[in-house]
């Protein structure tokens, strides 16, 4: 089941002004599904998860560009960063908007290549999991949040009321579409697989982790601090790693779309720079899994208020 996303009109607008659209975000937030849903019929689709296609890119990127000429949607472009210079040449030759749509879940690895090859040619958009408005079918009508009484009242009137049990269940399930829209998927099985196949593989490889146990301790300690002021020294101590290692691993989690650091607001600009930010896990279901909240023992899915 496809759920309309709030970004849809924004992506169409970007396509009219930029030759390259890069949609990034953590794995399983729905990047490919969104772009395939809204793409034009003439826009080709190719995924670099396909080993044969990836081999073609690595051996003969010029031939790949001939086979998949724009407009084209290229999925998981982080698998072949050597393709970016060829995209730049195609953009400079055609000089028109809407040529390439790219998706990639490893912003940390790609950003250097993008800044060198596609500067001034690409619009970068971050996609998160499902919002409450999107999950209730109000994705297109959702407006940017502003903390004004009129906007807060409008949101309260538009939102379907939730019981306390529904709120807790929504937090526990999280916002990744695959599990948020399918209540039959086992919570522990889904997030256990997510942790092993993504966090322990992709993110750990980016961080060049030698001690897997230390990295898991770091994930647990970070999840336990969601919605709290960030104290890197305490985080490093609980994970039994150095301060610099904690800073490096946290930066990778942030750039991978797993956590978000909310910088402090203060009328004094200097205080904004020195005060600690707040740490948030962008998916509450992942934070609940890592901290063991709501499992009721043995992953039964029974949880207490």
CA 29: distance to chain centroid? 6
Average pLDDT, the chain: 84
**Is 102 found in the same domain as 20?**
yes
**Is 197 found in the same domain as 87?**
no
**Is 208 found in the same domain as 115?**
no
25, part of any domain: yes
145, part of any domain: no
21, part of any domain: yes
**Is 113 found in the same domain as 16?**
yes
177, part of any domain: no
Residue among 246, 218, 231, 215 nearest 278 (CA): 231
**Residue ending a domain, choose from 96, 111, 126:** 126
Q: Return the pLDDT at 115.
A: 59
144, part of any domain: no
Number of other residues whose CB lies within 10 A of the CB of residue 212: 10
Low-confidence stretches of the chain (pLDDT beneath 70): 106-117, 199-211, 294-305
170, part of any domain: no
> CA–CA separation, 18 vs 262, rounded Å?
29
148, part of any domain: no
Q: Which domain holds residue 239?
A: 187-291
Q: Return the pLDDT at 209.
A: 65
Q: Return the pLDDT at 83.
A: 87
| 236, two tokens | 């490093």
Strands laid side by side in the 100-104 sheet = 44-47, 72-75, 100-104, 20-24, 122-126
| 115, two tokens | 């800044």
Q: What is the pLDDT of residues 172-203, one digit of tens each?
A: 999 999 998 888 899 999 998 888 877 666 66
**How wide is the angle at C-alpha 44 spanned by C-alphas 39 and 49, nearest 5°?**
100
DSSP character at residue 77: G
Q: How many structural domains is the chain composed of?
A: 2
Output the domain CATH number for residue 255: 1.10.10.10
Q: Return the pLDDT at 301.
A: 44
Determine the straight-line distance between the first and last CA of the chain, rounded to whole angstroms. Answer: 30
**Is 216 found in the same domain as 121?**
no
- Provide the H-helix boundaries in the chain: 8-15, 31-38, 51-59, 61-67, 84-94, 107-117, 132-135, 149-158, 164-173, 177-180, 187-194, 204-207, 212-224, 232-239, 243-255, 269-274, 284-291
Output the domain CATH number for residue 34: 3.40.50.300
**Residue ending a domain, choose from 126, 149, 176:** 126
- With beta carbons less than 8 A apart as the criterion, state whether 278 and 227 touch: yes
167, part of any domain: no
Q: Return the pLDDT at 110.
A: 60
């Amino acid at each position: 089941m496809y759920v309309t996303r709030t970004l849809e009109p924004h992506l169409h607008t970007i396509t009219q002004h930029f030759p390259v659209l890069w949609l990034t975000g953590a794995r399983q937030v729905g990047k490919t599904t969104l772009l395939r849903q809204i793409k034009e019929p003439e826009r080709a689709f190719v995924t670099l998860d396909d080993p044969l296609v990836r081999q073609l890119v690595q051996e003969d990127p010029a031939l790949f560009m001939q086979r998949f000429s724009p407009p084209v949607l290229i999925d998981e472009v982080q698998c072949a960063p050597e393709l970016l210079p060829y995209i730049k040449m195609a953009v400079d030759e055609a000089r028109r908007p809407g040529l390439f749509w790219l998706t990639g879940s490893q912003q940390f690895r790609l950003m250097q290549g993008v800044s060198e090859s596609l500067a001034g040619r690409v619009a970068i958009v971050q996609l998160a999991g499902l919002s409450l408005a999107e999950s209730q079918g109000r994705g297109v009508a959702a407006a940017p949040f502003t903390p004004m009484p009129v906007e807060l009242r409008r949101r309260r009137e538009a939102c379907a009321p939730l019981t306390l049990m529904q709120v807790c269940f929504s937090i526990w399930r999280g916002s990744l579409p695959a599990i948020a829209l399918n209540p039959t998927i086992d919570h522990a099985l889904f997030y256990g697989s997510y942790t092993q196949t993504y966090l322990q593989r992709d993110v750990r490889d980016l961080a060049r982790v030698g001690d897997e146990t230390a990295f898991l301790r770091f994930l647990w300690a970070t999840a336990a601090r969601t919605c709290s002021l960030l104290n890197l020294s305490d985080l490093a101590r609980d994970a039994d790693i150095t301060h610099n290692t904690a800073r490096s691993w946290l930066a990778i989690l942030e750039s991978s779309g797993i956590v978000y650091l909310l910088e402090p607001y203060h009328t004094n600009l200097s205080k904004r720079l020195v005060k600690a930010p707040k740490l948030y896990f962008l998916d509450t279901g992942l934070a609940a899994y890592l901290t063991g909240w709501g499992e009721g023992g043995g992953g039964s899915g029974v949880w207490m208020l």
